[in-house]
Structure 1
Amino acid sequence: MAATQTLLLLPLLLASAWAQCPAPADLKNADGSKICAQLYTDSSPYYAQCCGGSVLQVQPGDDVPYLTLAWINRVSSLVVAPRCELNVWSRLGKEGYTRKFNSGIVYRLEELKKGLFGNWDNSISAYYCKCA
């Protein structure tokens, strides 16, 4: 009987292990100060499983014209805090296509057009984030 109950609970345990995007208002540092945005390397066809993989916390006022090799062109989903704005560029040095993200969740950057044929999945190379 115990083995059957364990097997029945397994899908629930796995579901809780999947990533889920935080609410924009929940973006806070350990000391309670605001995080401007969080960038994630993974997304999923299922919105409830987006915002997974590695996490990059972007602080208010961060101005990064050159992402590190670990992050360049790897962002697949993001969350921006209330009263904040994340500006991104598709090429290093704040060149190429640009886009502004206001407060909210972008589950799948591949759903946002970039140019005529592209999308924003794995396309962010630089960013600037500010909060009011």
Structure 2
Amino acid sequence: MAAAHTLLLLPLLVASAWAQCPAPADLKNADESKICAQLYTDASPYYAQCCGGSVLRVQPGDDVPYIPLGWNNKISSLVVAPRCELSVWSRTGKKGNSRKFNAGVVYRLQEIKKGLLGNWDNAISAYYCKCN
């Protein structure tokens, strides 16, 4: 009977080994201080393989109306820490469409609607992050 339970858990263990998105509560700097959010350049058709590519760590209070070169319109996944809120804009200077993300994981920004026709995949050009 124990072998049957092990066989049932094996696919879950293998799938979690591929997971790249951290748990929101695990967003911490090397000195254990809180990271507000992490932004990622890559997503995947498979949730367990999202949050790949380059990582941009957003600290509490970061107010960035002009996202760094190389990151503008490149973000495909994100994670927001507990008790934090990430506000994003689709155009530099905090213009265009805007959206707020609360604590949690957004595996694929392509699944988040932006206006009538678009989505938030590769569409973030400014951000502000705050934590309580």
Question: Normalised by the size of structure 1, how large is the TM-score?
Answer: 0.86
Q: Which residue in the other structure is 1:80 paired with?
A: 80
Q: Which residue in the other structure is 1:108 paired with?
A: 108
Q: Which residue in the other structure is 2:33 paired with?
A: 33
Pairwise CA RMSD: 1.6
Q: Which residue in the other structure is 2:50 paired with?
A: 50
Unpaired runs of at least 5, structure 1: 1-12
Unpaired runs of at least 5, structure 2: 1-13
Instruction: Please report how far the alpha carbon of residue 68 of structure 1 lies from its aligned counterpart in structure 2 after TM superposition.
Output: 1.6
Alpha-carbon displacement from aligned partner over 1:72-97 (angstroms, at most 9, x marks no partner)? 00000000000000000000000000
Q: Distance in 2 between matches of 1:75 and 1:47?
A: 16
Q: Which residue in the other structure is 2:124 paired with?
A: 124
Q: Distance in 2 between matches of 1:118 and 1:19?
A: 27
Are 1:99 and 2:99 an aligned pair? yes
Question: Normalised by the size of structure 2, how large is the TM-score?
Answer: 0.86
Q: Distance in 1 between matches of 2:22 and 2:51?
A: 8
SS in structure 1 at match of 2:78 = strand
Identical positions, percent: 80
Q: Distance in 1 between matches of 2:68 and 2:80?
A: 20
Instruction: Please report how far the alpha carbon of residue 19 of structure 1 lies from its aligned counterpart in structure 2 after TM superposition.
Output: 5.5
SS in structure 1 at match of 2:110 = helix
Q: Structure 1 residue runs of 4+, over 2 Å off?
A: none
Could you tell me whether the CA contact under 8 Å between 1:19 and 1:52 is conserved in 2? no
Could you tell me whether the CA contact under 8 Å between 1:34 and 1:59 is conserved in 2? yes
